[in-house]
Structure 1
Amino acid sequence: MMLILMDVWDSVRGFMASGGDVLWLVAAVLFLMWVLMLERYWYLNWISPKQHQAVIASWEAREETTSWHAHRIREAWVSQAKQDLNARMLLIKTLVAICPMIGLLGTVTGMISVFDVMAVQGTSNARLMAAGISMATMPTMAGMVAALSGVFFSTRLDSKMRISLEKLKDSMPHH
C-alpha cells in the first residue's frame, strides 16, 4: 500500500513540476473551491433541513398567519433561509471563474520561459523549448478541468438550494 502511495505522490510531483509554479496556484484554488462546495453540500443535507423544520414549526405555532404583518414575518424567515443557503456561493462561483484565468497565467509564464530559452540557446534546442511549452499547456488544461468540475457541481448545488427553498416556501402556507 505504501509503495502505491509513493508512486502516486511521484506522479503528482512530476505533473506539478512539468506545469510550473502556476499549477500549484491552480491546485490551491481548486482545493479551496472544493472545500467550500463540500461545506455547502454538508449544510444543505444536514443543517438546513433542521433549520427549515424549526422555521416551519414556528410558522405553524403562530395563531395568525393571514395578516399583512404575518406575511412580512414569513417573507423575513424565507429571506433569512435563502441568505443562509446562498452563503459562500458567490465565492464558489468566483473561484470557478478564476480557474481558467489562472490557467492562462500559466500559459503566459510558460511562453515567457520558451522565449527566454530561445533568446539564450537559440531555436535549435527543442528539448529546452519543450519544457517551456509544457509549462504553458499544463496549467491551462488544469485550469479548464478545475473550472469544468466547479461549473458542474456548483450548478447542481445551486439547483438543490433553489429546490430546498421552494420546499420551505410551500411548507409555510399563507392564506
Structure 2
Amino acid sequence: MLFLVGLWETVREFLSAGGDVLYFVAGALFLMWALMIERYWYLTSVFPPIRKKIIDDWEARVDTTSWHAHRIREAWISQASDGLTARLIIIRTLVAMCPLIGLLGTVTGMIGVFETMATQGTGNPRLMAAGISMATIPTMAGMVAALSGLFVSSRIEAKAKNLKEQLVDSLPHN
C-alpha cells in the first residue's frame, strides 16, 4: 500500500511539473491502451468462436461453387474482417496524436518561459528553468505514449491481418 501511495505521489509530481497538457496526454494514453486491450481480447477470445462458426457454416453448405455461394463467402469474410479491424483507425489516430499533444505542452511551456522573461527579466534562471522543464516534459510524455502504442498497435494489426488470411484459407472456394 505504501508503494502505491509513493507511486501516486510521483505521478502527481510529474503531472504538476509538466503542466495541464499532461492530463490530455494521459487521457489519450488511457483511451489508446483501453482500445488496444479490447482489440487484443477480441482477437484472442471473441474471434476464434466466430471463425469456427463461419468455417462450420461454409462446410455445412451443399453448394460452395456457384456464384451465389462465392458472394456469401465474400460477405462472411468481409464481416469478419470488419470485426477484426474495428477501432484500429482510432488507435492509430491516438498514437499519432500523442506527440502532437506533447508538442502543445512544449508551446505552452515556452510561452510561460517568455512571460517569465518579460516580467522578471533574464536574471532569474530558476524561473526560466521551471518553464523550460514544463516545456520539455509534455513532449517526452507524448513521445513515450506514442512509442508504447506504436509497437502494440502494429502487433495487433499484424495479428488481425493474419487471422483474416487464415479465415480466407480455411474457406476453400473451389
Instruction: Name the structure 2 match of 1:90.
Output: 89
Instruction: Name the structure 2 match of 1:140.
Output: 139
Instruction: Name the structure 1 match of 2:24.
Output: 25
DSSP-derived class of the 1:105 partner: helix
Instruction: Name the structure 1 match of 2:99.
Output: 100
Give, in angstroms, the shift of residue 132 of structure 1: 0.8
Deviations 1:132-164 (A, max 9, x none): 111100000000011111111110000000000
DSSP-derived class of the 1:75 partner: helix
DSSP-derived class of the 1:145 partner: helix
Give, in angstroms, the shift of residue 45 of structure 1: 0.2
Q: Distance in 1 between matches of 2:65 and 2:166?
A: 20
Instruction: Name the structure 1 match of 2:120.
Output: 121
Structure 1 stretches (4+) deviating beyond 3 angstroms?
Answer: none
How do 1:1-175 residues align onto structure 2 when only pairs under 5 Å count? Answer: 2-175=1-174
Q: TM-score, normalised by structure 2?
A: 0.99
Give, in angstroms, the shift of residue 7 of structure 1: 1.0
Give, in angstroms, the shift of residue 58 of structure 1: 0.6
Give, in angstroms, the shift of residue 113 of structure 1: 0.4
- Which 5+ residue runs of structure 2 have no aligned equivalent? none
Q: Distance in 1 between matches of 2:5 and 2:70?
A: 61
Give, in angstroms, the shift of residue 21 of structure 1: 0.3
Give, in angstroms, the shift of residue 28 of structure 1: 0.5
CA RMSD of aligned residues (A): 0.6
Deviations 1:36-73 (A, max 9, x none): 00000000000000101111111011001011111111
Give, in angstroms, the shift of residue 12 of structure 1: 0.7
Q: TM-score, normalised by structure 1?
A: 0.98
DSSP-derived class of the 1:124 partner: coil
Quick one: which amino acid aligns to residue 17 of structure 1?
A: S
How many residues end up aligned between the 2 structures? 174
DSSP-derived class of the 2:108 partner: helix
